[in-house]
């Protein structure tokens, strides 16, 4: 039996891309997944598909900018399964534009989803994991959290630098509670993410950049690897790029 089997894993942003792929891979290996995102129709379809294949999935309409939604997602998993082994804080948006375009609402949204949404995930699981003396917090950052992706991705990069800083701080603070912390930093993965930019020229440039993109399952496998380690082994971080990418 895989060491993923029977683990209860909460995944935010599971309606597409990396989150959906991770849900399928973990559930295929016997994990019990609790899935959240705003597009409930897509979450419902994914849950049906996983359960029809003999897996175990629960779905929730979750907007990670609403703390109550994230709490309800985590509570749903605990009510059903009695515990939480891991959370994958995966929800993220990347509307790219130069700073001079003053897309202040998009700056706000990136901070709300990529940083505050992730923190709400941490807040929802922390008391449970501390009580269990066991848990795993997996945060999705980006290579843009190592290098500033400018012009265009300055605020996005800032949010992903924050995700790395938060994960490192959590790691240092939570070791006494036997809670593992992992940050996964992908680059150019073939998902809907680059389509979230409001400027057509930017979307066109990103499509060019994404021609060498790797499948979302490449990231799902790294998440599965971190989860399947024995409880005393913590995979701190992984950076996953297309081999051909020079960024
Ligand atoms: N693709 C890449 O090249 C790449 C590179 C580096 C890092 N990443 C990171 O990987 C993560 C997953 O992105 P992806 O590439 O898989 O893109 P994606 O296909 O666009 O998935 C993003 C997910 O985030 C969810 N989301 C967005 N706003 C949300 C909100 N307010 N509340 C809850 N969920 C929300 C979306 O679901 P709903 O819209 O249904 O809510 C969707 O499920 C993100 O954190 C992203 O920054 C991706």
pLDDT digits (tens, 9 = 90+) for 128-157: 999 999 999 999 999 999 999 999 999 999
Rounded Cα–Cα distance for residues 85 and 179 (Å): 9
Rounded Cα–Cα distance for residues 151 and 143 (Å): 15
Grade residue 217 by pLDDT with cuts at 50, 70 and 90. Answer: very high
Q: Is the CB of 37 under 6 A from ligand 1?
A: yes
How remote is the CA of residue 94 from the centroid of ligand 1, in Å?
8
Predicted TM-score of the model (pTM): 0.98
**pLDDT at 163 exceeding the cut of 60:** yes
Q: Is the CB of 10 under 6 A from ligand 1?
A: no
Pocket perturbation via mutation, ligand 1, pick of 88, 160, 193 by most ligand atoms within 8 A of CB: 193
pLDDT digits (tens, 9 = 90+) for 23-60: 999 999 999 999 999 999 999 999 999 999 999 999 99
How remote is the CA of residue 171 from the centroid of ligand 1, in Å?
23
Q: Is the CB of 193 under 6 A from ligand 1?
A: yes
Q: Is the CB of 192 under 6 A from ligand 1?
A: yes
Grade residue 2 by pLDDT with cuts at 50, 70 and 90. Answer: low
Burial of 156 (0-12, 13-18, 19+ CB in 10 A): buried
Q: Is the CB of 90 under 6 A from ligand 1?
A: yes
Tell me whether residue 156 is one of the annotated catalytic residues: yes
Rounded (to 5) percent helix, strand, coil in the chain: 50, 15, 30
């Amino acid at each position: 039996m895989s060491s993923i089997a029977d683990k209860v894993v909460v995944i935010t942003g599971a309606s597409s891309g990396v989150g959906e792929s991770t849900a399928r891979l973990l559930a295929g290996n016997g994990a019990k997944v609790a899935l959240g995102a705003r597009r409930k129709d897509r979450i419902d379809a994914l849950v049906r598909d996983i359960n029809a294949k003999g897996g175990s999935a629960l779905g929730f309409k979750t907007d990670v900018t609403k703390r109550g939604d994230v709490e309800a997602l985590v509570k749903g998993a605990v009510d059903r399964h009695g515990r939480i082994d891991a959370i994958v804080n995966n929800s993220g948006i990347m509307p790219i534009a130069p700073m001079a375009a003053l897309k202040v609402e998009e700056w706000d949204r990136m901070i709300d989803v990529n940083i505050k949404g992730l923190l709400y995930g941490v807040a929802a699981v922390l008391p449970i994991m501390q009580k269990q003396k066991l848990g795993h917090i997996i945060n999705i950052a980006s290579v843009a959290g190592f290098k500033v992706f400018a012009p265009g991705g300055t605020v996005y990069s800032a949010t992903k630098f924050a995700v790395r800083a938060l994960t490192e701080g959590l790691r240092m603070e939570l070791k006494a509670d036997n809670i593992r912390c992992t940050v996964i930093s992908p680059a150019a993965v073939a998902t809907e993410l680059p389509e979230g930019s409001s400027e057509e020229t930017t979307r066109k440039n990103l499509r060019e950049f994404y021609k060498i993109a790797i499948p979302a399952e490449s990231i799902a496998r790294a998440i599965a690897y971190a989860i399947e380690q024995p409880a005393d082994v913590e995979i701190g971080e992984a950076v996953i790029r297309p081999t051909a990418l020079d960024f």
